[in-house]
Copies of this chain bind each other. A is one copy, B any other.
């Protein structure tokens, strides 16, 4: 991808997310490229997907809902009730329509980076995982997950999914079926 295009995305991102979110994004880009190197995935794809994954993360509920409606995007009942889950879908649509990203693997990695989904591609797994292990993350267990991430991609993704499910249970939140299907398909695959 041409440098000016990357610059345009980066400038637009800066206008749409908080400084905290922008720093996180830089961390995810770094982790995603490192994981791509380790697991023979296309580094540029990892870079672009990471750059755009949280583009809509600081959108308000109203902004997300309006974007979904205006673009005829479908939200299931869980997404409607846990609107934060919409930000991946909205970001993927912006990536495609605003920044002309046409690579479906990149778009899917952006769209499913929060929930995961059944039978994730290698790039999807890398972005999902990079989001959890990027250098600014400090939660309990992150060091262990970083270690596993560079030993066994599937095992690390499974661990991240398990952590997510336990966390959502602790919050008494809704569990998206994609997360459960991601975990089931990895367990069956492993």
Chain A interface (Cβ < 8 Å from any Cβ of B): 77-78, 81, 162, 165-166, 169, 172-175, 177, 180-181, 183-184, 187-188
Contacts and interface: CB of A to CB of B under 8 A. Distances in A.
Given A177-B180, A180-B180, A181-B177, A172 B188 contact: no
A118 to B, nearest CB: 10
20 contacts: A77-B184, A77-B188, A78-B184, A81-B188, A162-B169, A165-B165, A165-B169, A166-B166, A172-B187, A173-B187, A174-B184, A174-B187, A174-B188, A175-B180, A175-B183, A175-B184, A177-B177, A177-B180, A177-B181, A180-B180
A188 B172 CA distance: 11
Nearest to A81: B188
A188 B187 CA distance: 28
Nearest to A165: B169
Contacts of A188: 77, 81, 174
Contacts of A173: 187
A188 B78 CA distance: 9
A50 to B, nearest CB: 28
A176 to B, nearest CB: 9
9 nearest A-B pairs in the assembled complex, by CB-CB distance? A174-B184, A175-B180, A180-B180, A177-B177, A81-B188, A174-B187, A162-B169, A78-B184, A177-B180
A172 B187 CA distance: 8
A166 B169 CA distance: 9
A75 to B, nearest CB: 14
A84 to B, nearest CB: 15
Nearest to A184: B174
Contacts of A78: 184
Contacts of A77: 184, 188
